[in-house]
């Protein structure tokens, strides 16, 4: 990876680290969490400080993102989160189901969780954090996104991913089409043990603002719990999806129907 690209990646990773930590951190804490060399971390954090995106507290020797950093994505926040509706509904869903709640989008040939609200200990999905990826073709979140795509694009994706991903058996195109037809018919996707052994996910499409990729809301928990409560979790997820859509429909300049 070119040095300039690697530096850009590290900038993003630093802000994702603070988003998860939600507290100031020392240089050593950042370097340890992200597995960066101390010298590179020092240079990066001080550059971001000089640019006004991080603040440095000398007495505690800690860094923390500034309001300037928060303002970078404010225009997206206004359209997507508005009064905090998405995040608030995710917490509401977590409290009602005790499951881990994820918000995912497509990222290349994978899906990526852009926000995660962790469930209780019984959910058993402890390693899921914002930024992690899941297989596009096999995961419930991925299948909700794939259900929006035309057949030709689906075939190209299957061919490309099967050729590049040797870590799992190839996905059969006709079997995937059957799963996507089922997803469209019932309004949600379901998967078990795709990325986290012993855990499953149920996922639904979430209304997205204009110019934003399709977003998917998911509930993840242990497979036996998911199987036992599948109907209840589906109804809870559907209620939240409908509430969010109603909210988005009040914003005609930013709301966009799911892209196909």
Tens digits of per-residue pLDDT, 85-108? 788 889 999 999 999 999 998 888
Output the pLDDT for position 260: 38
pLDDT band at 77 (very low <50, low <70, confident <90, very high): low
Is the pLDDT confidence value at 5 over 60?
yes
- Strand 110-117 relative to strand 189-192, pairing: unpaired
| Domains of the chain from N-terminus onward | 3-71 (1.10.10.10), 76-256 (3.30.450.40)
User: Is the pLDDT higher at 244 or at 150?
Assistant: 150
pLDDT band at 1 (very low <50, low <70, confident <90, very high): low
CB 103 within 8 A of CB 206: yes
Span 24-39, average pLDDT: 94
pLDDT band at 62 (very low <50, low <70, confident <90, very high): very high
Average pLDDT, the chain: 87
User: Would the pTM of this model clear 0.95, i.e. be above it?
Assistant: no
Q: How far apart are CA 80 and CA 39, in angstroms?
A: 37
3-state secondary structure string across the chain? CCHHHHHHHHHHHHHHHHHHHCCCEEHHHHHHHHCCCHHHHHHHHHHHHHCCCEEEECCCCEEEECHHHHHCCHHHHHHHCCCCHHHHHHHHHHHHHCCEEEEEEEECCEEEEEEEECCCHHHCCCCCCCCCEEECCCCHHHHHHHCCCCHHHHHHHHHHHHHHCCCCCCCCHHHHHHHHHHHHHHCCEEEECCCCCCEEEEEEEECEECCCCCEEEEEEEEHHHHHHCHHHHHHHHHHHHHHHHHHHCCCCCCEECCCC
pLDDT band at 222 (very low <50, low <70, confident <90, very high): very high
pLDDT band at 180 (very low <50, low <70, confident <90, very high): very high
User: Is the pLDDT higher at 182 or at 52?
Assistant: 182
User: Is the pLDDT higher at 258 or at 2?
Assistant: 2
């Amino acid at each position: 990876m070119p040095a300039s690209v690697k530096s850009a990646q590290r900038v993003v990773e630093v802000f994702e680290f603070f988003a998860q930590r939600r507290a100031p951190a020392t240089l050593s804490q950042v370097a340890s969490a992200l597995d960066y060399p101390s010298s590179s971390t020092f240079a990066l954090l001080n550059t971001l400080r000089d640019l006004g995106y991080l603040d440095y507290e000398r007495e505690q020797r800690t860094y923390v993102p500034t309001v300037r950093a928060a303002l970078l994505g404010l225009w997206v926040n206004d359209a997507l989160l508005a009064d905090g509706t998405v995040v608030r509904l995710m917490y509401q869903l977590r409290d009602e189901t005790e499951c881990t709640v994820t918000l995912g989008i497509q990222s290349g040939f994978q899906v990526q969780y852009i926000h995660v609200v962790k469930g209780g200990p019984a959910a058993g999905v402890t390693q899921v954090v914002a930024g992690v990826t899941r297989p596009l073709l096999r995961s419930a979140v991925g299948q909700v996104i794939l259900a929006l795509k035309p057949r030709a694009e689906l075939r190209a994706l299957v061919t490309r991913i099967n050729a590049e991903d040797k870590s799992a058996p190839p996905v059969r195109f006709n079997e995937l089409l059957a799963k996507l037809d089922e997803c469209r018919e019932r309004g949600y996707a379901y998967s078990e043990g795709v990325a986290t052994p012993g855990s499953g996910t149920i996922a639904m499409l979430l209304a997205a603002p204009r110019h934003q990729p399709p977003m998917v809301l998911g509930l993840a928990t242990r497979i036996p719990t998911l199987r036992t409560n599948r109907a209840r979790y589906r109804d809870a997820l559907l209620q939240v999806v409908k509430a969010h859509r109603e909210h988005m429909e009040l914003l005609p300049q930013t709301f966009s129907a799911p892209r196909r």
